Amino acid sequence: MNAIFYYHRYMGFAENLRNELDYQDIEIKELSQKTGISKNTLDKYLSGRKSQPGVENAVKIAQALGVSVEYLVCNPSNSKSEVLTLNKEQQNILKQYNALDNFNKQTIQDLLKSLSLRQK
């Protein structure tokens, strides 16, 4: 049997970007280096002075963070709960992860980040 989890999308590009940077513990300077987008421009996106990037920059940012463009640019009118269904293997992985202490959780996150970068 599959488990079903509900999660909420964030409200807009600035919030989504900020939350993803915080979640992945990435500094704006590092994102700038990964994307080739100036730190000043990224600061404008985060502050809301520049509401959303053009398609090219949105794709660069999404690729650097390993998320979809849609996730980053969704707007409040699209904000809704989404359903995520996990199979048995995914449920088992999640249970094992949740049983770890914070140090080991961070180790797993670092490993996954490293593996995903290696696949690019």
- Each of the 120 residues of the chain gets a pLDDT tens digit; together they read 455 454 444 357 888 888 888 888 899 999 999 999 999 999 998 887 766 788 899 899 989 988 888 888 774 434 444 545 667 888 888 888 888 898 998 999 889 888 888 886
Encode burial over 7-27: b for 16+ CB neighbours within 10 A, e otherwise.
eebbebbbbbbeebbeeeeee
Other C-beta atoms within 10 Å of 44: how many?
A: 15
Predicted model pTM = 0.54
In the prediction, which pLDDT does 8 show? 45
Greatest distance between any 2 Cα atoms in the chain: 48
- Sheet strands (E) in the chain: 3-8, 81-86
In the three-class reduction of DSSP (H, G, I as helix; E, B as strand; rest coil), residue 86 is classed as strand
Contacts of 66 (CB under 8 A, 6+ apart): 116
Q: Is the dihedral of CA 114, 43, 40, 49 positive or negative?
A: positive
Contacts of 21 (CB under 8 A, 6+ apart): 27, 28, 31, 65
